[in-house]
Structure 1
Amino acid sequence: MADMPGTLGPLLRAARECLAAAGVADPMLDARLIVEHFSGTTRTQVIADPEQSVDTGAIAAIDAALKRRILGEPVHRILGFREFYGLRLALSPETLEPRPDTETLVEAILPFVKATAASHGECRILDLGTGTGAIALALLSAVPAAVATGVDISEGALATAMRNAEELGLAGRFEALRSDWFAKVSGPYHVIAANPPYIPTQDIGNLQDEVRDFDPHRALDGGADGLGPYRIIAAEAARFLEAEGRIAVEIGHTQRQEVRDIFASAGYMLAGVFRDLGGNDRVLIFEL
């Protein structure tokens, strides 16, 4: 991408044309995110002062980022962060990139978290497979009386989650715990939340390139039928759940009945089904 323009408006246009020519799905959005991030500018500045000059270091960084995007790397991995539920979360190679669909889980369980905090003076949340800390931190940001433990088997993921908690001023109410599911957990909690791996092992190769090549496979692989983690949660969660507690899990859009059956056989009742923005079944809430 030789000779990128040195002023903001033409630079953004050139970046968009470059991504569009490479067949990137949303070249306008990705170009804007890359140019604004690496030039330290805002959308307003682009509109108000398109002739603003951009220094050569920023242009080089933008050029490098565009090359990475053309090779298939997701734009938020290049930026190093993703917005989730209004929070800016740092990403790392060991974390899934939080998706808007997972905001459905936050919205689904939030009324219960608020009600519990109001009636008990606190709400204790366990976030299994916390990754960036997205679910736990979104709930903590919305409910000042909530506290959360984020569990992950990956040290790198836990370091990222803790960094995010610190950056958001939530570290005082967030604990990062290295554990293989419930192995090191001590309860009880009012809410157990999880966006577990739920892709059948043999289907991982068929995922979108951006997911298959850049999200950690350990955070995707749900075993032979994609349901292994739900069996673990259903079998073990009761020991760590308050009497009136709730379990909220994200599911693959075809897994509603199978996941419901797994929890039913462990004695749980379905307390809610929530759909994502695309109208797909996405979150199930259970109670004992």
Structure 2
Amino acid sequence: MSRSVSAALTELSGRLAAAGIDGAPREARRIVAAAMRVVPDRVTLMQADPLEAEAEDRLATMAARRCAREPLSHILGLRAFFDHEFRVTADVLDPRPETETLVAAALDAPFERVLDLGTGSGCILLSLMAARPGAQGVGTDISAPALAVARENARILGVQDRCRFQRADWFAGIDAPDGTFDLIVSNPPYIAAWEMADLAPELGHEPRAALTDEGDGLSAYRAIAAGAGRFLAPGGRLMVEIGWRQGPDVLAILGAAGFGGLRILPDLDGRDRVAVALRGSTQG
């Protein structure tokens, strides 16, 4: 006899909690909804219903993956970020709420041409494109599979005609004239190699190269600072996500490269999250 949706929810919530997952009841509801192929809000209305065999099979597979600490976004294939949902795979960094700080800050001033370095899923660039219908953007990544995910997300959001994606290692390989962009954004790998062992198990399912530089966590900022001035238009903005303890180091790197207008913006938890700089008069 089939068990009820309510029983499935209770059992899965307990399993997730035992696996050390915060917010187990909420995640259980999302997984059960996905197994039933309904929106999560419908689950509350269906708790007395029997769970069909096919849904039970899908649930068993998804539950095992999540209890093994595979990210929920990989299991569901989607992650909500800013005002949209983005396709997510193991080839890209899982978009995180703190990165929305960068998007919101970028939208505080006008821009027409945006470069997103290490675009991954494209969540930063595409959120900006969707919010500014007149803007044009370029997203780069060293990973071809990541670029495929970004292109698909651009198509889903309907901004593909205003975005171009190309493979590049920071500024090496970017096909654009000097001074092309009035905004450069990036969420680079900023976790130091020695910090990786202490991270949540879910991060083991994400591309390591998107998380760490295998060094002190600052090499990406050195590369970005060295090349950004050439591609920024006069007065253009550079905005990068940072680790919450990296603010002074990143500002020092940007300042030494000739950038001005240096400041740090906090995320919603009050932690340093975004470094902002302007193209200085000594650059380009």
Structure 1 length-normalised TM = 0.91
Note if contact 1:92-1:156 (Cα within 8 Å) is conserved in structure 2: no
* Matching residue of 2:103: 106
In structure 2, relative to structure 1, the CA distance for the partners of 1:229 and 1:44 (3 Å cut) is closer
Letter in 2 for 1:283: V
CA separation in 2, counterparts of 1:13 and 1:48? 15
Distance, in Å, in 2 between the alignment partners of 1:108 and 1:20 is: 35
Q: What are the Cα deviations for residues 101-123 of structure 1, in whole angstroms up to 9, with x where unaligned?
A: 100000111122xx23xxxxxx1
Question: How does 1:2-151 map onto structure 2 within 5 Å?
Answer: 5-112=2-109, 115-116=110-111, 123-151=112-140
Distance 2:40 2:219 in 1: 44
Amino acid at match of 1:214: H
Give the superposed CA RMSD: 1.5
Q: Please, which runs of 5 or more residues in structure 1 have no aligned partner?
A: 117-122
Cα-to-partner distance string for 1:124-152 (whole Å, 9 max, x where unaligned)? 10000000001001111111111111100
- Structure 1 distance, partners of 2:159, 2:51, is 35
Alpha-carbon separation, structure 1, partners of 2:20 and 2:220: 36
1:284 corresponding residue in structure 2:
275
Query: 2: distance between equivalents of 1:54 and 1:173?
Result: 44
- The alignment partner of 2:107 has SS state of helix
Aligned match of 2:148 in 142, 159, 170? 159
Distance 1:66 1:101 in 2: 27
Shift of 1:271: 4.2
Write the letter of the residue equivalent to 1:210. Answer: E
Q: Does 1:204 align with 2:196?
A: yes
Mean Cα deviation higher: 184-193 or 6-15: 6-15
Q: In structure 2, list runs of 5 or more residues that go unmatched.
A: 280-284
1:65-124 Cα distance to aligned partner (Å, 9 max, x none): 111111121211211211111211111222000100100000111122xx23xxxxxx11
Rounded to whole Å, the distance in 2 between the matches of 1:183 and 1:269 is 24
> Does the aligned pair in 2 maintain the 1:7–1:53 contact within 8 Å?
yes
Q: Please say which of residues 264-273 and 237-246 is displaced more in the overlay.
A: 264-273
1:249 aligns with 2:249: no
Question: Is 1:170 aligned to 2:159, yes or no?
Answer: yes
Aligned equivalents of 1:206 and 1:249: distance in 2? 23
Assess if the C-alpha contact under 8 Å between 2:242 and 2:273 holds in 1.
yes
Separation of aligned partners in 2, 1:192 and 1:45: 41
SS in 2 for 1:111: coil
3-state SS of 1:278 partner: coil
Post-superposition, which runs of at least 4 consecutive aligned residues in structure 1 deviate over 3 A?
Answer: none
Q: Deviations over 1:133-180 (max 9, x none)?
A: 010011111111111111000000000000111111111111111011
Query: What is the CA–CA distance in structure 2 between the aligned matches of 1:88 and 1:38, rounded to whole Å?
Result: 19
Residue number in structure 2 paired with 1:119: none
Measured in 1, the distance between the counterparts of 2:188 and 2:61 equals 34
Partner of 1:264: 255
The answer as to whether partners of 1:260 and 1:270 remain within 8 angstroms in 2 is: no
**Aligned partners of 2:170 and 2:247: how far apart in 1?**
22
The letter for the 2-side match of 1:49 is M
Structure 1 position 234 matched with structure 2 position 231: no
TM-score by length of 2: 0.92
- The alignment covers a number of residue pairs equal to 276
Aligned to 1:120: none
